């Protein structure tokens, strides 16, 4: 599959296709023309000796130091070397690729002033599956992650290539590529902008979209196993709140459960259910609404020019403008908001699965095992879910509210958007585990009722899991089965 960017509006799904699913990426003819024109403006500025920040000056607090033309390529190289000072665990392969995608999207507008050759080299990294090794920590919004990616372009550092970790120089040679020599402004453009937070947020959106659908499925299974009162999802009632997300989740829950013989027999067994059961449309729906807002903000950023300075106009009538488009506040806020929403999806799921293992409210054997006592059953799986929810409460604290002063007071308000996106990715990873535990427990609970009593939708979800994980008769190693449940969810359409 090949994607051509440059003529149409991009979406986070486009980034996911390249970063996660290895689609080949290229740019349209008009995108290449825009890039070439922007570079021509930069070359004219350099030749004329006109002073322009980032083109022939120092960077950050050194912006008032002007440099001769012979030093500009060295400045770009030095920028990559000095800014590549990240620490901590390495980013995953798909995360680095997502950042690369967002950077290429930014350059495709032709407002950064980078050369056609630079963008071609970035595309070559993607399409030849050369993935720079990038430490995950050290960004207040930009700089360090992209600097490590830039090192690979110039043949410095290590990369993953053909499932091995090798030097960038070796990988480039084996792929028939040569190290790139960055020119004026290109070092700054490589580390600037918002591709880190934007690319990472695209991956988080992909996870969150699938988790929101699965939450309706595992929630429906728990609801049916606990003999919930389906009237809470009545279409007329749900329509009284004009939340688009609530309408979606309400409809999905009705579709999953409306033909359940068990629920038909359970009408009136209680006046109302616990809120973790009857408020699923409201909670899942609110999270869907926040997802839609976050996706809109990420898509706006993905299609934005986020470099500083920006090169505007034509070769005959140009401007170089220093501004703050790389700040990334909107993406940072969106990632923080989505983190809160997805933490709530996990939190309400943990409350549901806790009810499944509690015989005082479930009407089922304690901890969902036929012979409790000698068997602990699903007891500790609920502990794990509770632990993950506790961690998610920490991860859902807003990163954007933090602030630090950098670059000698020159950069004195920061978005912390890359940190927001990274903790969002960790949080949604936890939600996969929480919903997988609910999936296992709800399936075990439904087995006690028997397939003949189940709705068609929940029956299909149960069968999908049972193809990989057998019913529990007595205790066995549970950790691998949680992992298999996660894989069933990630690989399946719900």
Q: Hey, where are the domains in the chain?
A: 2-192, 200-491
Question: CA 212 to CA 288: how far, in whole Å?
Answer: 7
Q: Could you read off the pLDDT of 421-474 as tens digits, one per residue?
A: 999 999 999 999 999 999 999 999 999 999 999 999 999 999 999 999 999 888
Which CATH architecture describes the domain 200-491? Answer: Up-down Bundle (1.20)
Does residue 411 register a pLDDT over 90?
no
Q: What is the pTM of this model?
A: 0.95
How many C-beta atoms lie closer than 10 Å to residue 292's C-beta? 12
Question: CA 88 to CA 137: how far, in whole Å?
Answer: 6
Question: CA 60 to CA 135: how far, in whole Å?
Answer: 23
Q: How confident is the model at residue 193 (pLDDT cuts 50, 70, 90)?
A: confident
Q: Could you read off the pLDDT of 366-407 as tens digits, one per residue?
A: 888 887 777 887 889 999 999 999 999 999 999 888 777 666
CB 424 within 8 A of CB 204: yes
Chain-centroid distance, C-alpha 260: 35
Angle between helices 93-107 and 12-19 (to 10 degrees): 130
Sign of CA dihedral 478, 484, 485, 486: positive
Long-range contacts of 68-74 (CB under 8 A, 24+ apart): 69/184, 72/46, 72/183, 72/184, 72/185, 73/181, 73/182, 73/183, 73/184
3-state helix, strand, coil in the chain (%, to 5): 60, 10, 30
Q: Quote the mean pLDDT of the chain.
A: 93
Q: Could you read off the pLDDT of 83-140 as tens digits, one per residue?
A: 999 999 999 999 999 999 999 999 999 999 999 999 999 999 999 999 999 999 888 7
Q: DSSP class of residue 92?
A: P
Structure tokens, 405: 């002063």
Q: DSSP class of residue 193?
A: S
Does residue 65 register a pLDDT over 90?
no
Residue 23 phi, psi (nearest 5): -65, 145
Q: Is 53 designated active site?
A: yes
pLDDT at residue 59, as a whole number:
67
Question: CA 16 to CA 210: how far, in whole Å?
Answer: 13
Pick from 127, 182, 134: nearest CA to 159: 134
pLDDT at residue 349, as a whole number:
98
Work out the percent of the chain whose per-residue pLDDT is above 90: 80
Residue 78 phi, psi (nearest 5): -65, -35
Structure tokens, 455: 């709705």
Does residue 71 register a pLDDT over 90?
no
Which CATH architecture describes the domain 2-192? Answer: Orthogonal Bundle (1.10)
Does residue 412 register a pLDDT over 80?
no
> Do β-strands 135-137 and 310-313 pair in parallel, antiparallel, or remain unpaired?
unpaired
- The single residue listed with the structure tokens 């993406």 is 331
**CB proximity list for 117: less than 8 A, separation 6 or greater:** 180
- Alpha helices for 128-270 (secondary structure H): 144-153, 168-174, 186-191, 195-225, 235-238, 244-257, 261-265
Q: Which of 8-17, 45-54, 327-336, 431-440 has the lowest mean pLDDT?
A: 45-54
Question: CA 296 to CA 105: how far, in whole Å?
Answer: 16
- Alpha helices for 53-194 (secondary structure H): 72-83, 93-107, 116-127, 144-153, 168-174, 186-191
Does residue 261 register a pLDDT over 80?
yes
Q: How confident is the model at residue 354 (pLDDT cuts 50, 70, 90)?
A: very high
CB 133 within 8 A of CB 158: yes
CB 385 within 8 A of CB 349: yes
Does residue 295 register a pLDDT over 80?
yes
Mean pLDDT value across residues 44-56: 83
Q: Could you read off the pLDDT of 274-292 as tens digits, one per residue?
A: 999 999 999 999 999 999 9
In degrees, rounded to 5, the angle at the alpha carbon of residue 421 between the alpha carbons of residues 419 and 426 is 95
Three-state SS at 293: helix
- The single residue listed with the structure tokens 């549901």 is 352
Q: Where are the beta strands (DSSP E) in 296-346?
A: 310-313, 318-321
Question: CA 385 to CA 241: how far, in whole Å?
Answer: 31
Mean pLDDT value across residues 31-39: 97
């Amino acid at each position: 599959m090949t994607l051509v960017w440059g003529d149409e509006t991009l979406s986070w799904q486009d980034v996911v296709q390249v970063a996660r699913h290895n689609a080949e990426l290229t740019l349209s003819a008009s995108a290449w023309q825009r890039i070439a024109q922007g570079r021509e403006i930069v070359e004219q500025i350099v030749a004329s000796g006109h002073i322009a920040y980032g083109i022939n000056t120092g960077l950050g607090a050194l912006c008032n130091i002007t440099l001769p033309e012979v030093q500009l390529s060295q400045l770009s190289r030095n920028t990559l070397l000095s800014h590549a000072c990240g620490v901590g665990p390495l980013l995953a392969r798909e995360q680095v690729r997502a950042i690369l995608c967002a950077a290429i999207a930014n350059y495709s507008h032709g407002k950064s002033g980078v050369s056609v050759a630079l963008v071609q080299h970035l595309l070559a990294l993607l399409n030849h599956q050369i993935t720079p090794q990038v430490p995950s920590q050290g960004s207040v919004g930009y700089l360090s992650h992209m600097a490590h990616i830039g090192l690979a372009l110039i043949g410095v550092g290590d990369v993953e290539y053909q499932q091995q970790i090798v030097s960038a120089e070796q990988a480039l040679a084996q792929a028939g590529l040569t190290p790139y020599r960055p020119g004026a402004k290109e070092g700054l453009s490589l580390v600037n902008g918002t591709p880190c937070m934007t690319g990472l947020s695209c991956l988080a959106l992909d996870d969150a979209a699938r988790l929101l659908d699965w939450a309706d499925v595992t929630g429906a299974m728990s609801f049916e196993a606990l003999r919930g009162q389906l009237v809470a999802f009545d279409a007329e009632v749900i329509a009284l709140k004009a939340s688009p997300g609530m309408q979606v989740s309400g409809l999905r829950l009705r579709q999953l459960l409306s033909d359940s013989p068990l629920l038909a027999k359970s009408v009136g067994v209680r006046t109302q259910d616990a809120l973790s059961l009857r408020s699923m449309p409201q909670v899942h729906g609110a999270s869907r609404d926040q997802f839609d807002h976050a996706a809109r903000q990420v898509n706006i950023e993905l299609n934005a020019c986020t470099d500083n300075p920006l090169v505007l106009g034509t070769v005959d009538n140009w401007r170089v403008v220093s501004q703050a488009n790389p700040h990334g506040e909107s993406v940072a806020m969106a990632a923080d908001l989505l983190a809160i929403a997805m933490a709530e999806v996990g939190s309400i799921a943990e409350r549901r699965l806790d009810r499944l293992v509690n015989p005082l409210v479930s009407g089922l054997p304690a901890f969902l095992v036929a012979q409790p006592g000698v068997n602990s059953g699903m007891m500790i799986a609920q502990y794990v879910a509770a632990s993950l929810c506790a961690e998610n409460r920490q991860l859902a604290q807003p990163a954007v509210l933090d602030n630090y002063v950098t670059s000698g007071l020159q950069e004195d308000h920061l978005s912390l958007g890359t940190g927001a996106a990274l903790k969002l990715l960790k949080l949604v990873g936890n939600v996969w585990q929480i919903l997988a535990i609910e999936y296992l427990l709800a399936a075990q609970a439904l087995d006690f009722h028997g397939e003949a009593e189940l709705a068609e939708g929940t029956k299909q979800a149960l069968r999908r899991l049972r193809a990989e994980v057998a019913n529990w008769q007595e205790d066995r190693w549970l950790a691998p089965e949680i992992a298999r449940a996660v894989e069933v969810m990630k690989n399946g359409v719900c």
